[in-house]
């Protein structure tokens, strides 16, 4: 709505500015002209100048009323004339279907690409969050890694902040590792694994996201023994219950307990897309109940706050800094912690700003190249239309009127392009929004909406002005003399037109070159990223998220259950090994702190240690993590004391530099639990834990039977083993949901998805640009050969060889390509800074990428030049001269 209003206001102002002033001036000039003319006639008839002027004014009548009448006529005339121009423009487009098709298709691609990118950009970066007064919402992260999950905060801190700060109207949170809690829906057909998010009672109120149906959580539902309540997400409600409004108040059996559905979230608020993009879609929210044990989980709360009216982010930050220092003194058991306050909008989409701005720049460049091409086509057509314009001038058209007529033709072209581009944009945007392949927040909310339509309109108008203005200005310079006699070849206007056309080609090539280099750099970055040594082998391995549909009386019973489960899976044909784990690499990781036995506390320079809980033997073999020294976990290590641990090479190097880590002891700090004594039984290779771009940090593995991930490595095709594993699990524990299966390679796909998206889109845009540039070069050279047929005929008649003619044309085209390429390389180097943060393992001025991009462009340009050159060389001199 905002965009529409703004656009309409700008257009209105521009039109009135341009028209009102010139129309008023013209009317006044014309009225003055009439009076002067009558005065001159009167003087010629013998009157004195004073009498002549007086008589002229008298005879003319009331100037003001005539002026008003003229304006009235003008106003109506403008509308009529515009309609006339539109009718004529449409007729011209129909008359040249080939040209119209090429122009409309080119524009459809350019405008469609820009609309699609705008729709993504709007969803991720621009559109206000669909929450009440979203500008007051902040994200509070913990910049100091401690026990728990990185970036998150202890529950006790949240409670203290809520009680002791004055900056916030309210604070809420969700549990950062809620996806580790398994939920299974039963009693409604096949058991179904659900994804639940644990949130504080104040979470929805803080965000300002009231349920679309039903109500939020009541205070008693957040109490330890309060009633069990859940709020469904809109997507789950529509998918599972076909949007049945009667579901509110009904009971669902989840994990064999009865939960009341108290509400349904509004469709505008997609929890998963906003907070945990790329993860499995959350099906319901349930309240974090007041259980003291949660404190033992360490940093687990992802905190959001609503600032009080008038309070700035900086003020809230300052208040929390002071409070945190006091809390750390009062509660040393909580360890080091801090808080970093940032606008929620910035937190959610901010990290993708640069990528999407680069994409928007690339899409705009493609459209500019398309405009340059169209401008060139129109300039070529201008030669044929020059006489028409000269006649129009001879019939009384002024320059403004001609420009308007020509621009209306351009607007019709770009309007048709936009109409055709919109479905392209709609399909592309929907494909991205519905794809689960990209872990980008709010991507799923991208759509071609009213702002996108307004943007399309704006782009279409801008494109029409860009590609139509130069030809319109050129054509409107036509003089009636050209209508009186034929415009000769090689006139100065013809030469300046050719210069302009060549300039457009050079700029097209330059933009294409810069785009190719940018795409090349991102593609190389992406390929470098895929070459990163992960530390584990994702190929031919998969993970099932499992949740036993039964309760265990004790730890032994649970261990026995998992042992048998693993034995059954291992016995399946094609299964090489199987194990269990609490988490997978490159997903959420627990952080703990350790110190050597006898040392008072972890050294100050010691970073947090990633802790991975292994749920069965053969973990390293199944994951493909190399054992450097020592032995793998055995069944007896689950309950050992001191606790048997495996460390990675980084931790071994940090703790025992120059010594063998196997057999060494250390103490694991996990407050408020007592410290745990550990003994190293093996050292394994480093594994990338958080991101492919980040080197592995210190990590330790600990064994305890169980876990939510069943990891299976197969000796045959993965897909062939899936049904057998699923059947075995179902047979072993019939109530267990087994529908969630994930090849480990999918983890790599997920973490690299934002880069993949940007690299692929940029590659697509640069391919489009390359194609357009080739068409542009071909068009200009073909036109030039056409114009020079006579000259080529004379050259051939005078004894020039066909090879020389070919070289002549090739030289003309390739010189433009070389100049464009050179400018493009300089442009790409100048844009180094924009690319810097997007690259991995490759420099923005990487000579190989720049060289290959330029070579590719010059190669394509050579082909585009060769075709008209070959035609020139085939000119029959006799035919060419006879036609002249």
Partner 1 sequence: MKPMMSTPPRTDIAQTNTEPMIQLRDLEKCYKTKAGFTYVLRQINLDINAGEFITIMGPSGAGKSTLLSILGMYDHTWEGEFLFLDHPVRRLGAKERALLNKHYVGFVFQQFHLLDDLTVAENLDIPLSYRDIRKSEREALVADVLDRFNIVGKKDLYPSQLSGGQQQLVAVARAIIAKPKLLLADEPTGNLHTDQGREIMELFKKLNQEGTTIIQVTHSETNATYGQRIVRLKDGWMEK
DSSP 8-state class, residue 617: T
Q: Which residue has the tokens 């509660």?
A: 331
Nearest residue (CB) to partner 1, 47 versus 210: 47
Total of residues contacting partner 1 (CB under 8 A): 46
Nearest residue (CB) to partner 1, 116 versus 402: 402
Query: 271: Cβ–Cβ under 8 A, 6 or more apart, which residues?
Result: 197, 233, 265, 282, 285
- Does 480 engage in binding with partner 1 (CB under 8 A)? yes
DSSP H or E stretch at residue 29: helix 2-44
Query: 601: Cβ–Cβ under 8 A, 6 or more apart, which residues?
Result: 595, 669
- Does 397 engage in binding with partner 1 (CB under 8 A)? yes
- Does 54 engage in binding with partner 1 (CB under 8 A)? no
Minimum distance between the CB of residue 73 and partner 1, rounded to whole angstroms? Answer: 5
- Does 91 engage in binding with partner 1 (CB under 8 A)? yes
Single out the residue of 237, 208, 41 nearest to residue 135, CA to CA: 208
Backbone region of residue 706 per phi and psi (left: phi > 0; alpha: psi in -120 to 50; beta: other values): left
Binding partner 1 (rule: CB under 8 A), the pick from 92, 407, 475, 769 is 92
Single out the residue of 844, 150, 822 nearest to residue 522, CA to CA: 844
Q: Which stretch binds partner 1 (CB under 8 A): 100-108, 190-198, 252-260, 477-485?
A: 477-485
- Does 483 engage in binding with partner 1 (CB under 8 A)? yes
Instruction: Convert residues 16-35 into a mask of x (bound to partner 1 by CB under 8 A) and - (unbound).
Output: ----------xx-xxx-xx-
Q: Measured between alpha carbons, how far is residue 557 from residues 89, 115, 560, 708 in Å?
A: 82, 58, 5, 16
Q: What is the DSSP pairing of strand 137-141 with strand 301-307?
A: antiparallel
- Does 478 engage in binding with partner 1 (CB under 8 A)? no
Indicate the SS3 state at residue 230. Answer: strand
Q: Measured between alpha carbons, how far is residue 286 from residues 86, 177, 178, 211, 289 in Å?
A: 60, 14, 10, 13, 9
- Does 863 engage in binding with partner 1 (CB under 8 A)? no
Nearest residue (CB) to partner 1, 331 versus 387: 387
Q: Which stretch binds partner 1 (CB under 8 A): 65-73, 361-369, 666-674, 739-747?
A: 65-73
Binding partner 1 (rule: CB under 8 A), the pick from 61, 246, 488, 674 is 61
Q: Which stretch binds partner 1 (CB under 8 A): 71-79, 423-431, 534-542, 573-581?
A: 71-79
Nearest residue (CB) to partner 1, 16 versus 37: 37
Nearest residue (CB) to partner 1, 9 versus 84: 84
- Does 38 engage in binding with partner 1 (CB under 8 A)? yes
- Does 485 engage in binding with partner 1 (CB under 8 A)? yes
Q: Which stretch binds partner 1 (CB under 8 A): 394-402, 419-427, 768-776, 796-804?
A: 394-402
**Which sign, positive or negative, has the C-alpha torsion 96, 99, 101, 103?**
negative
- Does 73 engage in binding with partner 1 (CB under 8 A)? yes
DSSP-assigned beta bridge partners for residue 713: 541, 577
- Cα angle at 122 between 117 and 125, to 5 degrees? 110
- Does 384 engage in binding with partner 1 (CB under 8 A)? no
Distance (Å, whole) CA 424 – CA 443: 18
- Does 81 engage in binding with partner 1 (CB under 8 A)? yes
DSSP-assigned beta bridge partners for residue 148: 299, 591
- Does 694 engage in binding with partner 1 (CB under 8 A)? no
Minimum distance between the CB of residue 51 and partner 1, rounded to whole angstroms? Answer: 16
- Does 388 engage in binding with partner 1 (CB under 8 A)? yes
Q: Measured between alpha carbons, how far is residue 789 from residues 497, 627, 863, 881, 883 in Å?
A: 18, 75, 21, 8, 10
Nearest residue (CB) to partner 1, 79 versus 658: 79
Nearest residue (CB) to partner 1, 15 versus 59: 59
- Does 484 engage in binding with partner 1 (CB under 8 A)? yes
Single out the residue of 274, 167, 206 nearest to residue 217, CA to CA: 206
DSSP H or E stretch at residue 526: helix 492-530
Query: 692: Cβ–Cβ under 8 A, 6 or more apart, which residues?
Result: 529, 532, 534, 586, 748, 751, 752
DSSP H or E stretch at residue 542: strand 541-545
DSSP 8-state class, residue 123: I
- Does 70 engage in binding with partner 1 (CB under 8 A)? yes
Minimum distance between the CB of residue 475 and partner 1, rounded to whole angstroms? Answer: 14
Binding partner 1 (rule: CB under 8 A), the pick from 7, 394, 465, 852 is 394
- Does 44 engage in binding with partner 1 (CB under 8 A)? yes
Q: Which stretch binds partner 1 (CB under 8 A): 313-321, 385-393, 554-562, 596-604?
A: 385-393
Instruction: Convert residues 323-352 into a mask of x (bound to partner 1 by CB under 8 A) and - (unbound).
Output: ------------------------------
- Does 88 engage in binding with partner 1 (CB under 8 A)? yes
Binding partner 1 (rule: CB under 8 A), the pick from 66, 343, 420, 437 is 66
Neighbouring C-beta atoms of residue 189, cutoff 10 Å = 7
Alpha helices in 676-743 (DSSP H): 718-732
Minimum distance between the CB of residue 40 and partner 1, rounded to whole angstroms? Answer: 5
Residues lying near partner 1 in the complex (CB under 8 A): 26-27, 29-31, 33-34, 37-38, 40-41, 44-45, 59-61, 66, 69-70, 73-74, 76-77, 80-81, 84, 88, 91-92, 95, 387-388, 391-392, 394-398, 401, 479-481, 483-485
């Amino acid at each position: 709505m905002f965009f529409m209003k703004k656009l309409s206001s700008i257009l209105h102002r521009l039109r009135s500015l341009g028209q009102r002033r010139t129309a008023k001036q013209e009317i006044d000039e014309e009225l003055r002209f009439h009076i002067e003319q009558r005065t001159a006639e009167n003087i010629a008839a013998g009157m004195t100048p004073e009498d002549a002027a007086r008589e002229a004014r008298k005879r003319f009548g009331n100037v003001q009323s005539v002026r008003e009448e003229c304006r009235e006529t003008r106003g109506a005339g403008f509308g009529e004339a515009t309609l006339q121009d539109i009718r004529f423009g449409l007729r011209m487009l129909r008359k040249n279907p080939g040209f119209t098709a090429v122009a409309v298709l080119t524009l459809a691609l350019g405008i469609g690409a820009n609309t699609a990118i705008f729709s993504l950009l709007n969803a991720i970066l621009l559109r206000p969050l669909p929450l009440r007064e979203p500008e007051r919402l902040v994200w509070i992260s913990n910049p100091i890694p401690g026990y728990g999950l990185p970036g998150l905060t202890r529950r006790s801190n949240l409670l203290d902040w809520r009680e002791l700060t004055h900056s916030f109207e309210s604070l809420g949170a969700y549990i950062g590792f809620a996806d580790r809690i398994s939920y299974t829906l039963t009693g409604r057909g096949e058991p179904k694994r659900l994804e639940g998010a644990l949130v504080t009672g104040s979470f929805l109120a803080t965000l300002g996201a009231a349920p679309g149906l039903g109500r939020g959580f009541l205070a008693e539902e957040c109490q330890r023994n309060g009633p069990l309540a859940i709020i469904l997400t809109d997507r789950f409600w529509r998918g599972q219950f076909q949007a049945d409004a009667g579901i509110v108040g009904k009971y669902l059996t989840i994990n064999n307990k009865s939960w009341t559905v108290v509400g349904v979230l509004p469709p505008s608020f997609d929890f998963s897309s906003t907070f945990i993009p790329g993860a499995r879609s959350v099906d319901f929210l349930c309240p974090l109940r007041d259980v003291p044990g949660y404190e033992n989980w360490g940093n687990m709360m992802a905190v959001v706050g609503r600032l009080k009216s008038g309070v700035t982010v900086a003020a809230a930050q300052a208040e929390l800094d002071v409070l945190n220092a006091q809390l750390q003194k009062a509660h040393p058991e909580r360890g080091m912690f801090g808080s970093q306050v940032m606008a929620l909008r910035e937190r959610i989409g901010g990290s993708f700003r640069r990528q999407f701005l680069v994409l928007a720049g690339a899409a705009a460049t493609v459209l500019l190249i398309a405009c340059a091409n169209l401008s060139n086509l129109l300039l070529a057509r201008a030669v044929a239309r020059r006489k028409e314009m000269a006649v129009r001038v001879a019939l009384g058209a002024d320059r403004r009127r001609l420009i308007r007529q020509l621009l209306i033709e351009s607007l019709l072209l770009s309007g048709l392009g936009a109409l055709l581009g919109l479905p392209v944009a709609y399909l592309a945007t929907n494909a991205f929004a519905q794809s689960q392949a990209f872990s980008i927040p709010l991507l799923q909310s991208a759509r071609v909406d009213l702002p996108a339509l307004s943007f399309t309109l704006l782009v279409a108008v801008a494109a029409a002005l860009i590609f139509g203005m130069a030809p319109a200005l050129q054509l409107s310079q036509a003089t009636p003399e050209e209508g009186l006699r034929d415009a000769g070849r090689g006139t100065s206007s013809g030469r300046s037109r050719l210069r302009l056309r060549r300039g457009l080609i050079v700029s097209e090539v330059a933009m294409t070159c810069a785009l190719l280099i940018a795409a090349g750099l991102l593609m190389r970055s992406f390929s470098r990223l895929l070459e990163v040594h992960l530390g584990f082998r994702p190929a031919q391995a998969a993970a099932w998220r499992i949740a036993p549909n039964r309760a265990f009386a004790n730890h032994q019973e649970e261990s026995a259950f998992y042992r048998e489960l693993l034995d059954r899976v291992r016995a399946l044909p094609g299964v090489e090994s199987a194990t269990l784990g609490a988490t997978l690499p490159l997903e959420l990781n627990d952080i703990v702190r350790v110190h050597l036995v006898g040392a008072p506390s972890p050294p100050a320079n010691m970073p947090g240690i990633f802790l991975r809980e292994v749920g069965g033997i053969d973990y390293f073999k199944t994951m493909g993590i190399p054992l450097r020294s020592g032995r793998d976990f055995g069944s007896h290590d689950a309950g050992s004391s001191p606790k048997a641990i495996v460390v990675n090479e980084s931790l071994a190097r940090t703790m025992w530099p120059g010594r063998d880590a196997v057999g060494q002891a250390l103490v694991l700090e996990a407050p408020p639990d007592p410290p745990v004594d550990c003994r190293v039984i093996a050292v394994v290779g480093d594994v990338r834990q958080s991101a492919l771009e980040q080197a592995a940090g210190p990590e330790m593995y600990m064994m305890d039977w169980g876990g939510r991930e069943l990891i299976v490595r197969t000796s045959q095709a993965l897909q062939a083993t899936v049904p057998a594993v699923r059947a075995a699990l179902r047979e072993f524990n019939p109530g267990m949901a087994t529908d969630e299966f994930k090849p480990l390679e999918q983890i790599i796909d997920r973490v690299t998805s934002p880069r993949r998206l940007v690299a692929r889109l940029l590659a697509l845009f640069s391919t489009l640009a390359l194609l357009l540039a080739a068409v542009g070069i071909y068009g200009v050279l073909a036109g030039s050969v056409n114009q020079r047929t006579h000259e080529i005929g004379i050259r051939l008649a005078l004894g020039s060889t066909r090879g020389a003619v070919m070289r002549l044309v090739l030289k003309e085209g390739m010189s433009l390509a070389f100049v464009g390429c050179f400018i493009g390389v300089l442009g790409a180097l100048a844009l180094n800074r924009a690319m810097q943060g997007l690259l991995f393992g490759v420099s923005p001025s990487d000579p190989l990428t720049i060289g290959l991009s330029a070579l590719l462009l010059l190669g394509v340009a050579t082909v585009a030049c060769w075709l008209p050159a070959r035609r020139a060389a085939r000119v029959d001199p006799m035919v060419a001269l006879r036609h002249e």
